[in-house]
Amino acid sequence: MFFRLFLLFTAIPLLELLILIDLGSWIGAAPTLGLVILTGAAGAWIARLQGLSVLGRIQQELSEGRLPALELVDGALVLVGGILLLTPGLLTDLMGLSLMVPACRALVRGWLLARLEGLIREGKVHVYFHG
């Protein structure tokens, strides 16, 4: 677990920094800064559109009396994707943008649910129902 957190908070930002420095030396500082700002703004706009779409599907499922389980997972993935898109860096933008594409998000959702199911089967995660 420590190694994963280490990667998340040190290795990935260092890699992002190296990519931005290399890109800046290739196309210049101003275009690189503009690209970072543009991807942040575009990411916020795309995340808003996808978030509203997921929210609409959640409301539709609830109005039809069904539990919107997959839609809630989609909503969480859109949130994570939006956070990644707002984080400066091209690698995180690419990961965030992939979560905004419904087909890619469905693949991640399937992997995530299969992983959670495996953790439940192994007894590492417990699910309790109330009522």
pTM: 0.82
Residue at 129 is within a domain: no
Crossing angle for the helix pair 90-100 and 102-122, to the nearest 10 degrees: 90
Decide if pLDDT at 45 tops 80.
yes
Q: How high is the pLDDT of residue 85?
A: 87
Q: Is residue 131 part of a domain?
A: no
Find the domain containing 118 and state its range.
Answer: 2-122
Evaluate whether residue 17 is within a structural domain: yes
Distances from the Cα of 97 to the Cα of 47, 78, 82, angstroms: 9, 9, 8
Structural domain count, the chain: 1
Is 127 within the bounds of a domain? no
Residue 24 located in a structural domain? yes
pLDDT at 22: 94
* pLDDT of 114 over the 80 cut: yes
Using a pLDDT cut of 90, give the percent of the chain over it: 53
Structure tokens at 82: 């939006």
Pick from 36, 35, 55: nearest CA to 47: 55
Is 128 contained in some domain? Answer: no
* Any domain includes 74: yes
What is the per-residue pLDDT for 9? Answer: 84
Q: Does 130 map to a domain?
A: no
Residue 1 has pLDDT above 80, yes or no: no
Query: In this predicted model, what pLDDT tens digit does every residue of 66-112 receive, in sequence order?
Result: 889 899 999 999 999 999 988 888 889 889 999 999 999 999 999 99
Mean pLDDT of the chain: 90
Residue 77 pLDDT: 95
